[in-house]
Amino acid sequence: MLEIIALIFLTRNIGNLAERKGLKKGWWKFYTVIGWFGGEIIGIVLSIMIFQTEETLALLPLGYAFAIGSYFILKAVLSKKPDVETPAFEFEGQNQQP
């Protein structure tokens, strides 16, 4: 349950960052979810190979570490993209009345 709450928070964070960069936030939220579960699966498989056990509680910490790592990798990739320039409101060309 806590994993779902964390994933909702992280996808919202990535979506806001993508929107600030001028990209479609839905796709980046999708990438975050796929990266999270992909990283978790890779971490669990890797911990099965390293620790030679199938105890669930022993496998989850490395799985969560890889999942969180995938979030930070996506955030770093998205942060390197340029921001969208927002047009500034200019007062030039308007008549100023006292």
Q: What is the pLDDT of residues 14-71, one digit of tens each?
A: 999 999 999 999 999 999 999 999 999 999 999 999 988 878 888 899 999 999 999 9
Question: How much is the pLDDT for 98?
Answer: 56
Question: How much is the pLDDT for 80?
Answer: 94
User: How far is the C-alpha of 35 from the C-alpha of 28, rounded, in Å?
Assistant: 10
The model's pTM is 0.79
Question: How much is the pLDDT for 56?
Answer: 81
| Top-confidence residue, 88 or 62 | 62
Closest Cα partner for 69 from 29, 32, 21? 32
Question: How much is the pLDDT for 94?
Answer: 60
| Top-confidence residue, 19 or 93 | 19
Place of tokens 């579960």: 37
Question: How much is the pLDDT for 77?
Answer: 95
User: How far is the C-alpha of 12 from the C-alpha of 10, rounded, in Å?
Assistant: 5
